[in-house]
Structure 1
Amino acid sequence: MLTYAIGDVHGRADLLARLLARIEEHRAGRQRRLVFLGDAIDRGSDSAGAVATLRDLQAREPDAVTCLMGNHEAMLLDAAAGTNRDLWRINGGGATLASYGAAHPGELPAEVVAWMGTLPTLHGDARRWYVHGGLDPACDAEGSDRETRLWMREPFLSSGRDFGRHVVHGHTPTRDGRPELLAHRTNLDTGAVFGGPLTAGVFTDEQGPPVEVLAVR
């Protein structure tokens, strides 16, 4: 069994399609799981396409596809509920509205907003924790609250804490377009929407850290 964790897509549906094709080629018929680490939307030109791809994958393979909530999905949910709309817009929400042909958050498809509202903020398997932003070094993974999981950078990034399982996350784009591979955590946000690649970490049931990395531009 292979698990592919995919970093922040941010509306780059073109790169997402390319990476999924690369994953299919790589797995060569072997069983696989997909974990999307959140922030499928905003900034890039085709958030609607990226979300449609994720929803279709999850509908076809509900036991093999996990989509996490990112802070950008959380901002969209707030905006659709009538709060913090300016915060969402200045963080790329306008591009998402445009991709749906919507003038304001209230015009977003109800089924898309409802789907985002169901997304978990933490996923775990035997070897790893998957989260969008980070975990609170002062408590365990499951004790970290929603805001921490969605938004955390520091002190998580510099803590070096061992949470008992390898932590796989996105949210903080790397400056060199390469994933950050450390003893206790892997950062797969390689800045796809800023000109970097879209990256997937390849994981097995035998060890926590990735055994390989796939990236497309």
Structure 2
Amino acid sequence: MGLTYAIPDLHGRLDLLERALREILEHAAGRDACVVALGDYVDRGPNSREIVELLTTWPFPSLRLIALKGNHEAMMWEACNNLVETDWWLENGGDATLASYGGLRMGEALRTLIPERHLQWIGKLPTIYADPHRIFVHAGVDPRLPLNQQNERTLLWKRYPKGSSLGHGMRHVVHGHHANEQGPVVCKGRTNLDVMAWRTGRLVVGVFCDDKAGGAVEFLEVRGNSSAG
């Protein structure tokens, strides 16, 4: 029985990621498994750089990593490539990311502060991953469109209307992005794992059986310090 573990929005909380990975390794009990990270590794929390470094070097041979892009990685990449105003990114948590890279000195360009290999990795992140039973994505999918016709803005920024339980055809959608401290939110067609971990100090990992359709068979929860920020 293959297992896939979905890790939602981390926003700089390396402590929670490290605890989650220990839980996943213990739960997998030596079996090979898949880890899908749903994006938003950077911004808001204190350790964005360290999270990106861990994901780019990934020291767990028994865990196949699929790291997806979140809207915060998109903002970071666009700001560093002068495609959006830097202040827009900074006002949305990018200031914490810059601090994790050592802080920007007067007149210094973003690309001199952030390692090029980090930016290249972010630029190549996929926006969606699908297996026979599920679709993993940062924010959501348009249920009316085939997967190969999805708009990137939808995948990175979508908010599902309150009460919506739509997945995508017969597939269950697993996502983050829509923060809910009381989550995870489990509906017939989708599961939202984002419980605002960077603020609450609580991270919920979904455990999915590769041979079984539908939602998670179980959840792994780790806790750290909450933030007043």
Residues 155-175 of structure 1: CA deviation (Å, up to 9, x unaligned) = 4x6443241211000001113
Q: How far 1:181 sits from its partner (Å)?
A: 1.2
Matched, 1:22 2:36: no
Contact 2:181–2:200, Cα closer than 8 Å, also in 1:
no
Contact 1:75–1:84, Cα closer than 8 Å, also in 2:
no
Aligned residues: 214
- The aligned residue for residue 44 of structure 2 is 43
1:88 maps to amino acid:
W
Which of the numbers 166, 172, 179 marks the counterpart of 2:178? 172
Residues 19-58 of structure 1: CA deviation (Å, up to 9, x unaligned) = 100111111112210000000110000001111111122x
Normalized against structure 2, the TM-score is what? Answer: 0.88
- The aligned residue for residue 182 of structure 1 is 187
Comparing 157-166 with 110-119, greater Cα deviation is found at 157-166
Q: How far 1:141 sits from its partner (Å)?
A: 3.3
SS of residue in 1 equivalent to 2:92 = helix
SS of residue in 1 equivalent to 2:219 = strand
Q: Give structure 1 stretches of 5+ with no counterpart.
A: none
- The aligned residue for residue 202 of structure 2 is 197
Give the Cα–Cα distance (whole angstroms) in 2 for the partners of residues 162 and 89 of structure 1.
Answer: 33
**Percentage of matched positions with identical amino acids:** 44
Normalized against structure 1, the TM-score is what? Answer: 0.92
Residues 124-145 of structure 1: CA deviation (Å, up to 9, x unaligned) = 1111100001112332333221
Contact 1:37–1:130, Cα closer than 8 Å, also in 2:
yes
RMSD (Å) for aligned C-alpha atoms: 1.8
Give the Cα–Cα distance (whole angstroms) in 2 for the partners of residues 79 and 61 of structure 1.
Answer: 33
- The aligned residue for residue 96 of structure 1 is 97
- The aligned residue for residue 67 of structure 1 is 67
SS of residue in 1 equivalent to 2:136 = strand
Contact 1:76–1:105, Cα closer than 8 Å, also in 2:
no
Matched, 1:152 2:153: no
Residues 194-214 of structure 1: CA deviation (Å, up to 9, x unaligned) = 114111100112223100000
- The aligned residue for residue 210 of structure 1 is 216
Give the Cα–Cα distance (whole angstroms) in 2 for the partners of residues 60 and 213 of structure 1.
Answer: 21
Give the Cα–Cα distance (whole angstroms) in 1 for the partners of residues 219 and 123 of structure 2.
Answer: 30
Is the helix fraction higher in 1 or 2?
1
Structure-2 change in CA distance of 1:11 and 1:145 (3 Å): same
SS of residue in 1 equivalent to 2:211 = coil
Structure-2 change in CA distance of 1:150 and 1:197 (3 Å): same
Matched, 1:11 2:16: no
Contact 1:6–1:199, Cα closer than 8 Å, also in 2:
yes
- The aligned residue for residue 87 of structure 1 is 88
Runs of 4+ in 1 over 4 A off after TM superposition: 59-63
Q: How far 1:105 sits from its partner (Å)?
A: 2.3
Structure-2 change in CA distance of 1:212 and 1:154 (3 Å): closer
- The aligned residue for residue 227 of structure 2 is none
Matched, 1:161 2:166: yes
Structure-2 change in CA distance of 1:162 and 1:195 (3 Å): closer
- The aligned residue for residue 56 of structure 1 is 57
Contact 2:35–2:65, Cα closer than 8 Å, also in 1:
yes
Give the Cα–Cα distance (whole angstroms) in 1 for the partners of residues 143 and 91 of structure 2.
Answer: 30
Comparing 136-145 with 116-125, greater Cα deviation is found at 136-145
SS of residue in 2 equivalent to 1:91 = helix
